[in-house]
Amino acid sequence: MRTASHPREILLGAQAAAHMLPVCDHYSGVEVRMRKSLELQAQMLQEFGTCVFDVTLDCEDGAAVGQEKAHALLVAQLAKDVQDGCRVAARVHAVDHSAFAEDIATIVGEAGHKLCHIMLPKVESVDDIVRAQHALERAGGAHIPLHALIESPAAVHRAFEIAAHPSVQSLSFGLMDFVSAHGGAIPGSAMGGQGQFQHPLVVRAKLEIAAACHAHGKVPSHCVVTEFKDATALQAAATRASRELGYTRMWSIHPAQIRPILAAFAPAVQEVQEAAEILLAAEQQAWAPISWQGVLHDRASYRYYWHLLERAQRTGIALPAEARQWLDGSTV
């Protein structure tokens, strides 16, 4: 029997299969913006040495009425041309939309080998996931993970069941549709700014989605901040999503939002250094409990610090040499 030797396997065990995704998912649906987003992704790949955000090419909001087929063909062509090392996805129409099947057939059929995931909007139940999975299989894309956008009270109620489906990699929260679905019972102020962190029904929905994801090893992705020119509002929302609500990923709808999201989700440099030192000391003791600067640490805290190092890597933070070797797949 093979014995685990890499820290990730030793510390996480079966949880080592949990999904690791960039902390930012950037959306664009207009051709010129889609092209610029992909160019920016390639530039930042060179800058950081890793792909620090996904680009999701949007069919749902990007395609003009009656032009869904042409838009899907454009998305497929852009995805096919993405350079190696970059990550591109597509948001298709909802499963009950007349363009859904053609979106999948066109985009997956043409560019399935380049897609990191398919985003499904307006997911209401596991039945929607099953329907989408069957469409992927018919298009030759059974290997492509599904991300589900939760946008209604009923979908929030079923979040744990949706997150449990093996094809689902991530759940996202659709704030504005969720508020609108309440027929005026939630004020418009909860659609953005700090209001989205104050109304109890909105906060409860965000927490349910995050909890469902963590229960099943999936990635919770926080909604957009529509005040895209307000860097302070974005930084505050991203920080609260990360630090208070348990989200490990967030949507961007403007290039100016990408770096603030990376900064908000990144651990502090000092935390990264401490994590590396603690894990190195633990490895030297064969992962038995240790005392580090007068504090007891064991497997529980080792797992926390390992996740912290992984998050540092995904946000482009410079890693100590020993941590870099671990995360590149080697042992120190």
User: Considering the chain, what is the average pLDDT of its residues?
Assistant: 92
Asked which of 265, 283, 305 is the last residue of a domain, the reply is: 265
| Same domain as 174, residue 296 | no
Q: Is the distance from CB of 34 to CB of 325 less than 8 angstroms?
A: no
**Residue 329: predicted pLDDT:** 58
Per-residue model confidence as pLDDT tens digits over 220-279: 999 988 887 788 888 899 999 999 999 999 999 999 999 999 999 999 999 999 999 999
For residue 225, being part of any structural domain is answered with: yes
| Same domain as 284, residue 199 | no
pLDDT band at 1 (very low <50, low <70, confident <90, very high): very low
| Same domain as 277, residue 243 | no
Alpha carbons within 13 angstroms on the beta-carbon side of residue 164 total 7
Query: Is the predicted pLDDT of residue 29 greater than 60, yes or no?
Result: yes
Query: Is the predicted pLDDT of residue 73 greater than 70, yes or no?
Result: yes
State the first-to-last Cα distance of the chain, in angstroms, to the nearest integer: 23
For residue 280, being part of any structural domain is answered with: yes
| Same domain as 242, residue 319 | no
C-alpha distances out from residue 183 to 150, 152, 189, 219, 270, Å = 17, 11, 14, 29, 47
| Same domain as 198, residue 62 | yes
Give the residue with greater pLDDT, 1 vs 277.
277
For residue 186, being part of any structural domain is answered with: yes
pLDDT band at 85 (very low <50, low <70, confident <90, very high): very high
Instruction: Quote the domain boundaries for residue 39.
Output: 24-265
| Same domain as 236, residue 199 | yes
- Give 25's contacts (C-beta < 8 A, 6+ positions apart): 53, 54, 56, 89, 172, 221, 249, 250, 251, 252
**Residue 330: predicted pLDDT:** 42
| Same domain as 81, residue 227 | yes
For residue 156, being part of any structural domain is answered with: yes
pLDDT band at 4 (very low <50, low <70, confident <90, very high): low
- The structural domain count of the chain equals 2
The runs of H, that is alpha helices, within the chain are 7-12, 31-48, 68-80, 100-111, 126-138, 153-157, 159-164, 175-180, 200-215, 231-243, 258-265, 269-284, 299-314, 321-327
- Mean pLDDT across the stretch 37-45? 97
For residue 3, being part of any structural domain is answered with: no
| Same domain as 242, residue 183 | yes
| Same domain as 215, residue 111 | yes
Alpha carbons within 13 angstroms on the beta-carbon side of residue 133 total 15
Quickly count: other Cβ atoms within 10 Å of residue 247's Cβ: 25
3-state secondary structure of 315: coil
Asked which of 219, 245, 265 is the last residue of a domain, the reply is: 265
| Same domain as 159, residue 139 | yes
Asked which of 238, 265, 292 is the last residue of a domain, the reply is: 265
Report how far residue 258's alpha carbon sits from residue 35's, in angstroms, rounded to the nearest whole number. Answer: 16
Residue 108 per-residue DSSP state: H
For residue 18, being part of any structural domain is answered with: no
| Same domain as 140, residue 39 | yes
Per-residue model confidence as pLDDT tens digits over 94-115: 999 999 999 999 999 999 999 9
Residue 93 sits in a domain whose CATH number is 3.20.20.60
| Same domain as 257, residue 280 | no
For residue 19, being part of any structural domain is answered with: no
Q: Which residue in 84, 50, 89 sits closest to 315, CA to CA?
A: 50
For residue 103, being part of any structural domain is answered with: yes
pLDDT band at 19 (very low <50, low <70, confident <90, very high): low
